[in-house]
Amino acid sequence: MLIGDIDIDKQVFIIAELSANHGHDIQVAKDTIKAAKEVGADAIKLQTYTPDTITIDCDNEYFQIQNGTIWDGRSLYDLYKEAYTPWEWHEELMEYAKQLGLICFSSPFDLSAVDFLEDLNVPAYKIASFEIIDIPLIEYVASKNKPVIISTGIATFSEIDEAVTACKRAGNDNVILLKCTSSYPAKIEEANLLTMKNFKKTFNVEIGLSDHTLDDIVPITAVALGARVIEKHFILSKEIGGPDASFSLDKNQFRKMVSNVRDAEKSLGNVNYKLTKSKKKSREFSRSLFVTKDIKKGEDFTSNNIRSIRPGYGLKPKYLKDVLGKKASENIYKGTPLKWKYIE
């Protein structure tokens, strides 16, 4: 599957999530995009909404955040007013990312955002965890025939099934499900990455991870389990602050994650039973049959005069039973690797 010019079947696709980490300063946003390129990300992802497209300006009990989160005590409208990325920035940020060789796309949160992003010709769409139950939005996104990346942080099995079915109903099979824990920050023990593997088997989709833990062990493990996409929140500096700063990786942390993910990716390699030159050389230290006492011509081979020992220059140990009881074809001295030519 291609996202922009990257084939995710050949390379793990690493996304730096800008989210609210710009402090409503477009230069900070651009500096963050540049830093994302420098630390090895393949893509920068925006979020496309306004406070009015994602909620309403209301502070009654339904719109107050009181769920044990880092945002408790705030209204939804107030939070999103601080966190949103101005739409008038999008074209400039996407063009800047393109100049740097970085893919830029976004998460739309309503139909108007999809139309807006279509005009900007984004190469893919991301459905956020909390929008996975918005089937009309998912169908509309899928109808654009671009890869659809879906986070599953708050979804039940049936809701994930409905979301994937909605994409396929729209004629779009380019679906990537991301295992996600919708806690900010998330605990490692809540990652349950084996669920990600089950996504692939159950829904016949590509898989990946949207991670909110504070380290890189979960992304590395995800790659080992088959993840083709890794998404992490990225911030230029924690000093910028903002709603997402506490669970975002800074430059040094993100660079380390990218390096470790790439190393994990390399370590997987391919299914390969061929012996490299170094492996062949190492076989010299394996076991083989050696003469351990001087043997005269015509003498029997016994467990007292041949043994399986290191190094590996003689016959393979599996031939020991075939050799025992046979006679020596010539005089053989202790320390000689046993060969078929010595056996009558």
Residue 280 is predicted with a pLDDT of 86
Which range of residues forms the domain containing residue 90? 8-49+84-268
Q: Which of 237, 268, 299 is the last residue of a domain?
A: 268
Residues 118 and 169 in one domain: yes
pLDDT tens digit sequence for 58-97: 989 999 988 777 888 899 999 999 999 999 999 999 999 9
DSSP state of 153: T
Number of domains the chain is built from: 2
Q: CA-CA distances (angstroms) from residue 36 to 228, 251, 323?
A: 19, 8, 65
Residues 177 and 239 in one domain: yes
Residues 120 and 257 in one domain: yes
Domain presence at residue 296:
yes
Global pTM reads: 0.88
Q: Using the CB atoms, write b or e for 64-86: b if 16+ within 10 Å.
A: eeeeeeebeebbbbbbbbebbbe
Domain presence at residue 77:
no
Domain presence at residue 263:
yes
Residues 25 and 138 in one domain: yes
Residues listed for the chain = 344
- Phi/psi at 90 (5° precision): -55, -50
Residue 323 is predicted with a pLDDT of 97
Domain presence at residue 94:
yes
Q: Extract the residue ranges of the chain whose pLDDT is less than 50.
A: none
Domain presence at residue 210:
yes
Domain presence at residue 1:
no
Straight-line distance from the first to the last Cα atom of the chain, in angstroms, rounded to the nearest whole number: 62
CATH code for position 101: 3.20.20.70
